[in-house]
């Protein structure tokens, strides 16, 4: 703790503690310019906050942050935001810095939510840390893709219905088997119903 009015204006801090005893999402920082003196618990400025709601993005321990003080009182710090540096650079943007088309969130593990505003190719992507499972809303291609390169995809409505409907075609393809099980199954074709197979068994 510093003496009151020990800081004026805005200073750089380094996050040192996230375990707020009051569970108010406050953090503590050290002040490098004061030899590592620890702050009091500091509220974190966020775009939205209210009773059990808001945007919850806390910095990590060791992150560099910008700290301001209410009425220049060093015992009433506020963390305005986090800062990148040469030691902790921003995530790679693959050239988007030139056209500024990307907005994205990247977590510590590497999970990504990306908004791409490239004209004619707009898309929203949710990608896991291994880049093997993703959801893509492709505005330019007018489609939604759900991909799991090395796992399963499950759709489960435990107490309701699952409805698949298309204006044109519905295609189901599997390299091994397609299993459909239910107490009752109805196949209804207003035109031709065709069943093909090397062997067709009807029991």
* Per-residue pLDDT tens digits for 94-112: 666 678 888 999 999 999 9
Radius of gyration of the chain (CA): 27
Look up the pTM and report it.
0.82
Q: Give the residues of the chain that fall short of pLDDT 50.
A: 1, 3
**What residue ranges do the domains of the chain occupy?**
10-83, 96-148
Answer yes or no: are the C-beta atoms of 17 and 27 closer than 8 Å. Answer: yes
* Per-residue pLDDT at 165: 94
Answer yes or no: are the C-beta atoms of 66 and 83 closer than 8 Å. Answer: yes
Per-residue exposure over 109-132, b if at least 16 CB sit within 10 Å of its own CB, e if not: eeebebebeeeeeebebebeeeee
> Which of the following CATH numbers is that of domain 10-83: 1.10.3720.10, 3.40.50.300, 2.40.50.230, 3.40.50.2300?
2.40.50.230
* Per-residue pLDDT at 91: 86
Domain 96-148, second-level architecture: Roll (3.10)
* Per-residue pLDDT tens digits for 112-138: 999 999 999 999 999 999 999 999 999
* Per-residue pLDDT at 202: 85
């Amino acid at each position: 703790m510093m003496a009151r009015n020990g800081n004026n204006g805005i200073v750089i801090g380094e996050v040192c503690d996230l375990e707020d005893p009051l569970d108010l999402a406050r953090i503590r920082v050290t002040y490098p310019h004061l030899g590592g003196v620890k702050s009091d618990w500091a509220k974190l400025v966020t775009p939205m906050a209210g009773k059990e709601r808001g945007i919850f993005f806390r910095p990590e321990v060791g992150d560099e942050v910008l700290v301001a003080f209410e009425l220049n009182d060093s015992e009433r710090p506020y963390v305005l935001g986090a800062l990148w540096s040469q030691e902790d650079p921003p995530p790679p943007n693959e050239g988007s810095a030139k056209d500024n088309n990307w907005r994205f969130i990247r977590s510590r593990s590497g999970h990504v939510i990306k908004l791409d505003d490239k004209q004619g190719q707009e898309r929203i992507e949710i990608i896991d840390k291994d880049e093997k499972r993703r959801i893509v809303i492709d505005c330019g291609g007018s489609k939604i893709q759900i991909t799991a390169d090395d796992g399963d995809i499950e759709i489960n409505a435990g107490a309701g219905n699952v409805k698949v409907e298309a204006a044109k075609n519905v295609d189901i393809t599997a390299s091994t088997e397609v299993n459909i099980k239910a107490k009752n199954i109805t196949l209804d074709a207003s035109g031709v119903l065709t069943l093909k197979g090397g062997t067709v068994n009807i029991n």
